[in-house]
Each structure stands twice: as C-alpha cells, then as structure tokens.
Amino acid sequence: MGHETIRRRAAQTQDEELFRILLETLPDAVYFKDLDCRFTRVNKAHAQRWGLRPEDFIGKTDFDLFSRESAQAAYQMEQEIVRTGEPVVSFEEHMVTREGADIWWSSTKLAIRDPRGRIIGTFGVSRDITGHRRAEERVVQSEALYHSLVETLPQCIFRKDLDLKLTFGNQRFCQQIGKSLTELVGKGDFDLFPADLAKKYQDDDRRVIKSGKVFEGIEEHKPPGKGTIYVQVVKTPILDPRGYVIGIEGIFWDVTELTQARKALEDSEQRYALAVAGANDGLWDWDLKGNTIYFGARWKAMLGFAESEIGASPDEWMKRIHPEDREGLKASIAAHLAGRSAHLEAEYRMLHKEKAYRWMLSRGLAVRDAQGKATRLAGSQTDITDRKRAEEELSRQAFYDTLTDLPNRALFIDRLTQAVKRAKRRKDTRFAVLFLDLDRFKDVNDSLGHAIGDELLKAIGKRLEASVRPGDTVARLGGDEFTILLDDLKEPDHAVEVAERIQAELKQPFVLSGQEIFTSVSIGIAPGTVSDEPEDLLRDSDTAMYRAKERGKACYEVFDTTMHSRAVARLKLETDLRKAIERQEFRVFYQPIVSVRSREIVGFEALARWQHPSDGLVPPANFIPLAEETGLIIAMDLWVMRQACVQTKSWQGRWPELSINVNLSSKHFSQPGLVKSVEDVLDDTGLEPGRLRLEITESVILEDVPRIADVLGRLKELGVRLYLDDFGTGYSSLSYLHRFPIDAVKIDRSFVGQLGKKGEKGEKAELVSTITALAANLNMGVVAEGVETEEQLERLRALRCERVQGYFFSKPVDAAAAEILLTRQPNWS
C-alpha cells in the first residue's frame, strides 16, 4: 500500500470519526433512510426521543414504529423527495408512536446522492418543538376558558384601553348599558354616561392606570329608564407580558338594596355589621322602640307580595310563620335580644301568598344602646326551600329503602343503637332483633318475573308492619331480607311469639296481579342480651336465621353463643369459595382408570382441587359440602366437566379410546337445566358423548323415583354414560338398580380396602363378588376404587372386575402429569 493511499484512508477514517461525533452530540434528531424508506442510521438524539436505541431503528420503516397516519405522511413526503430531488425545509411534522406518544418536529428532509449524483436515499434533521406547540395550545385553551367564564358570570365585565375607550364588554355589561358590543367598542365614558358620572369613572380608571393597583368601591349608575342603582366595582390593571399597564378591566354588580339598607342604617347614625350575602336576601329592620319593621322589597317579593301589600307591623311576619315553627323563632329572637346568642339565626316555614309554606332562614343582629339594651334588630331573610327539600330527599334516601319505603340498614342500626343504649340505662328494658329471610324468593322472581317479585316484597313489608307494635322497627336490608327490632319487650318469650305470629301471617297467600302466591320465612332471633354491639346483634340474628333454614324452611331459631364460632369459620370459607369461582382458583386433577386385563389407562376420573391463595391445595372434602349447601356446586361441577371434556378431547388426538369420568353432585337433580347444561358442554367442546361418564351417588336414585328416572333417561338420550359412585355405602338396594339406566357401578374403596388383608372379612369379599355377578347380570360394568396393593388387584381380577382405580396406579395428578402417564403407559406389574 502506498503512502498516498494510507494517508487518504487515514483522512477518511478521521472524517468518518468527526462525522460520528458530530452526529452523536447534535441535539437535533438525524436519520438516514434508503430508497425503501428504511432507516439505515439514526443518531442518539433521534432514538432517545422515543426511548429506544439507535440500532432499534435499523432496517425498520416508519410503519413499524409509528401510527399509520404519521408513517403515511412521512412516507409520501420522502417518496416525493426521492422522485423530484427537491428538499423540504423547516416544515412542521407531527409524529405519533403506535403507543400514542407524540411529538412535533420542525424538520428538513433532503435527498442523499452517491458520488455520481444518483439519489440513494433520504436524510432528515428534526428539531423538537413539542414544548412550543403545547404552550401555544395552552394559550388557546386558557383563552377559551376565560371567554366562557366571562360570559357566564352574573357580573358585568368590561375592558378599556389606555385612552379609556372600551375594548370589550360581556353580555351582561352590554345589557346593563343597553347597547350591543359593536356599538360600545371604541366608545368612552362621556359618550355613554352623564358627564358627572363619566368624570368620576375616569378618575378611578386613571388612578388604577397610574398606580397599577386594584381599585374597589361603590359606584352610582343611572341606566337608561331606571332609577339610580349602586354597584360594587373592582377595577384591575391589565398588564402586558413585560409588566406594563396597557388598559384596565372592570367588574361590577348590583348592590343597590344592600347599599340602601346600609345608608338607612348610617342615617340613623348606627353602624353595625350586617351579614348579607347577596341580592337574593330580603332585608328587614325592626325598630324595637316603635315596634315597626321595615321589610325590604325582596323580603315581600319572596312571599309573593308587592311592595304595598305588606305593612310595617311585626305581625306581618309572625302571622305567616308556620304554627309549629313560631315559638322556636320567638325563642331565638328573645335569646339574642337578651344577649344569650351572638347573633340571630333561625330556620322556619312561612306562608307564601300562593298558600304554600316555604322554608326561610333569617340572620340578624341587635343594635344596642349605651346600657346594652337592644333598640333595633336588623337582618336578612333567605328562601331555603330548595335546600331543605334536597336535604329531606337525601336523608330519605339515606335511611329508607326505595322499594318498600321501610327503614333501611343504616336507620335500623341507628334504632338498634338507641335500643342498646336504653337497655344499658334501664336494666328492665328488653329488646330483640328478628332476622327474616324469605324461603324460595328466587323461585318467585324466576317464574313470575321481577315486577311481581317487587310487589311481593312490598306486600310482605306491609304485613310485617301490621304484625308488630307501632314502637317496633321493620326494616329491609336488601333482597329478600327483612329485620325487625322488637323494643320494650315485657317478657323475653314475647319475641318468639311475634316470630310465630309473623310466620302465621305470611302463610296466608298474597294475591298479586290476580295470582295467589304462597311464601314462608325463616326467622332468626337474637335477644338483646347477647351483645352490646348493634352490628353483632344483627349478625347473630342472621346466624340464627341460617340455622333455621338448615333445619328446614319456615322455622325460627333463637341465637345461642355456640352458633357464633361455627358461623364465623363458615362465613369466611363461603366468601373464599365465592371468590374462588370468580378468580378461577379451581383445578382439575386426573386419576387414571386402568383396565385389569391390559393394564392400560382407559380413562380418567376428573377430581376438583382448590388452589387456595393462602392455604394451598385444598382437598374436596374441605369445600364440597359447603359448595353443596350454598349451591355453588352447580357452577363448579359444570366448570370441572367443561375443563375435563376439553382436556380429554385434546388427548384423544393421540389416545382416541380415552374416556372421562366426571362427578355430579346430587344437588343438580333438584334443579332444572342439568340436561341442557351437559348438552351445551358436549356441543361446545366437541367431545363425543359416549366418552363422557357422569358419576352420581345412590342418594340421587333414592328420591322421587319417576322424576329422576326421567332426567337420567334424557341424559342417556344425549349419549353419555351413567356411573353409580360409592356403590355399597348407601342403601344399596341392589334390587332397584334395574329401574335406572345405569351403565356401570363403582365399588366403594371401603370394600376394596378389606380385600387381600390378613384375616380378610369374608362378607366383604362376598359382597364384591355379588356385586360383580349382579352387574354382569344387568349388563353393567364394574370399576373398583381405592386399589392400593398388588394383592387387591389380584383378588379383583379373580372376582372378574374389569376396571380399577387407586393409589396403586396413581394418585389424582394434574393434566401435565396425567399426560406423562399416558405417554409412558407403565404397565404396573
């Protein structure tokens, strides 16, 4: 390599290095793109603006990084540059990322050429002007805000320039002067007002301009066609950004009445503070010596009277006061005059000319002579009817149930608190809380509709009220729950009598929309002696009600303290369980069912597990009973069924013969919709019906034989198979088996457990062989559960049991582990 080449290379390297430094230190964003508008290089400033690294851009287009619109706009411009070779200089570009972050650039874009002058891409440099744009937007916004404020304020607002010519007036101002804004702009005070007033206004204006300080005062106005009015005015200098005064802004409002009252008071050379809030107050001034009252025009108008219709006698006031409020007002006045209160403040109703009462608030202050004796009393009266109505409505809503108009929970607790307090003071008072819950209200709602349901609740409320004494409180807590506070009981047993009476009353049918509806209630009774805490009493009565429900419907139960701890634990579990369904904390575990002959997995039983957030994996024994009691089992079982079907369907890709056993609680059979639900699961998951086996317990087929036979028949029609679970533990009347379309029985593990043991109990083994023989006779299959040892398996084979399940093969495991079992197909020998 010659010296020249080395030098040239070195120089090139140096240039490249300089260029790199320049690019990376430049505060402006720089990019290079190829002819396809792909980024080939961007500098740090560019990448940082979007929180990315320069290499994140390489090979990407704007479409990969920015919103469609921004990318499209940039793309079109760059294509244009490539086509024409013309640069675009300092235009405003708005880029928005796909996440919605945005930026305003001032950008310049040009074509890049190779040494031979051919265009090979584009180059752009952009300056961030987002801050600037935002500031501009803010100015526009705050101007709009100012404008709408100025136009909605009840005050008159105007602006003048340094020559004291009007530059602006809001609508109120224009109305007040009686001219339009265009007529007013450019005019001075002498063009608009009498000379003496104009001079005074301008003197005040000049003072503001000179001093740069705010002026406040009372001005006289003489609007055309009206008498003199007084306005409170505030004048403020308008400053430019450097702080120079460039005009003034004024704001004023009518205070005529107030000023006249002040004047009147000043005239009598008495000065005192008068708390008058605004133009809506009616003024009054009571001369106590002469016993006359000056009533302001507003005061009279508030009651619907014209100036001349009301005289100056105190009786004009007192005779219109609601009889119930009159003494209260007189007492307040007397208290203030006697110096017992700092000022007069009273609320009362007054008769309006239209013969309706309106709520009024009066505030006043006495004027006293040197001896401290009140000589006059003056004040203002405000109409507060709207406020009072709103308050009443609010308190009604806060304390009464809107459907039944009965007290709600809050008011009930309040009354209960009073009762507790009374009982503490006087040992001989007794009270009790009754908690009522309708039996099967849901059925009414479901079958007759919510409108009838609501009617029923109302009617029940009425009946309840009729069956207690006036001092007692009947409340509705919500839904179909009512509570009663029985106050002042003579005998503790009396609460029980009331409960019995209520139950008898509610047994009578209700006739609603021509239909007879029968209902009953379960009642829990908490005697006032069980706690000092209202909330606890309510809870205890609820617990007792729950007990009553458990005993069978239409009962009552009196709370005793042993119910408490059980109830608390139960309640926690129940709440957890409800949440578990919402939060999907259930898991499905699978236990293999194995063919005795081939020792291969032929199916699984799906078993529910609860992944409790704090207690870990909860076994079914700890939550199934509660789930059954609360009815949550229905949703849970269907969920397990759905999961298991989806899982089995997916396994069938590799193991087509696989079937799945799912447990069905007996609760399903007291509920309509089971058949439809199963059908839906099959439809939705696409599992072949013959692969689904429903395990039901003997208790199901013991009740109500014809109806159950019908449901089972319809399930069979769907094509699913039916298994009888835990066979042998229940009533096991083998003779009725043939009446139901059962496909197989599962021999309970308590029998299997006895097999192959030393000293095996003869009758158990016998039973197993009887069952298998019977099953064969009835053409039913047999599955033995709980197989734990090789010997048991041997015995079962000898007894011609075809399928087995148990820890000997595997415990129930999650889907992933089950799949491993399927793949390995251990043959367990």
Q: What's the closest the beta carbon of residue 778 comes to ligand C2E, in angstroms?
A: 21
**486/479 Cα distance (integer angstroms):** 21
Q: Counting contacts by CB under 6 A, is residue 619 touching ligand C2E? A: yes
Q: Which of 640, 645, 694, 801 forms a contact with ligand C2E (CB under 6 A)?
A: 640
- Give the residue from 531, 543, 592, 598 showing the smallest Cα distance to 567: 543
Q: What's the closest the beta carbon of residue 627 comes to ligand C2E, in angstroms?
A: 8
Residue 383 interface partner, choices Ca ion, ligand C2E, none, CB cut-off 5-8 Å depending on type: none
What is the separation of C-alpha 787 from the centre of its chain, rounded to a whole number of angstroms?
A: 52
Q: What's the closest the beta carbon of residue 811 comes to Ca ion, in angstroms?
A: 14
Nearer residue to ligand C2E within complex by CB, 432 or 796 = 796
Residue 624 interface partner, choices ligand C2E, Ca ion, none, CB cut-off 5-8 Å depending on type: ligand C2E
What is the separation of C-alpha 546 from the centre of its chain, rounded to a whole number of angstroms?
A: 29
Stretch that binds Ca ion, among 255-263, 290-298, 486-494, 690-698 (CB under 5 A): 690-698
Nearer residue to ligand C2E within complex by CB, 407 or 786 = 786
Stretch that binds ligand C2E, among 35-43, 141-149, 546-554, 783-791 (CB under 6 A): 783-791
Residue type, 386: D
Q: Which two tokens stand for residue 119?
A: 């265009």
* Number of residues located near ligand C2E, criterion CB under 6 A: 24
Q: Counting contacts by CB under 5 A, is residue 67 touching Ca ion? A: no
Which residues sit opposite 595 in a β-bridge? 803
- Give the residue from 309, 232, 233 showing the smallest Cα distance to 276: 232
Binding pattern to ligand C2E, positions 738-777, x when CB under 6 A? -----------x----------------------------
Q: Counting contacts by CB under 6 A, is residue 290 touching ligand C2E? A: no
Nearer residue to ligand C2E within complex by CB, 169 or 812 = 812
Residue 637 interface partner, choices Ca ion, ligand C2E, none, CB cut-off 5-8 Å depending on type: ligand C2E
Give the phi and the psi of residue 476 in degrees, each rounded to 5: -115, 125
Give the phi and the psi of residue 372 in degrees, each rounded to 5: 90, 5
Which residues sit opposite 108 in a β-bridge? 125
Residue type, 418: Q
Q: Counting contacts by CB under 6 A, is residue 624 touching ligand C2E? A: yes
DSSP track, 234-254: EEEEEE-TTS-EEEEEEEEEE
Q: Counting contacts by CB under 6 A, is residue 692 touching ligand C2E? A: no
Binding pattern to ligand C2E, positions 541-580, x when CB under 6 A? ----------------------------------------
Q: Which of 208, 725, 756, 765 forms a contact with Ca ion (CB under 5 A)?
A: 725
Q: Which two tokens stand for residue 404?
A: 């039944």
Q: Counting contacts by CB under 6 A, is residue 818 touching ligand C2E? A: no
Q: Which residues of 10-38 are buried (b: 16+ CB within 10 A; e: fewer)?
A: eeeeeeeeeeeeebeeeebbbbbbeeebb
Q: What's the closest the beta carbon of residue 792 comes to ligand C2E, in angstroms?
A: 9
**474/491 Cα distance (integer angstroms):** 20
Helix or strand run (H / E) with residue 603 = strand 601-612
- Give the residue from 40, 109, 38 showing the smallest Cα distance to 71: 38
Q: What's the closest the beta carbon of residue 695 comes to Ca ion, in angstroms?
A: 4
Cβ atoms of 164 and 189 closer than 8 Å: yes
Q: Counting contacts by CB under 6 A, is residue 223 touching ligand C2E? A: no
**564/554 Cα distance (integer angstroms):** 22
**530/543 Cα distance (integer angstroms):** 13
Residue 480 interface partner, choices Ca ion, ligand C2E, none, CB cut-off 5-8 Å depending on type: none
Q: Counting contacts by CB under 5 A, is residue 637 touching Ca ion? A: no
Q: Counting contacts by CB under 6 A, is residue 592 touching ligand C2E? A: no
**Which stretches of the chain bind ligand C2E, using CB under 6 A?**
591, 607-608, 619-621, 624, 633, 637, 640, 663, 665, 695, 725-726, 749, 785-788, 805-807, 812
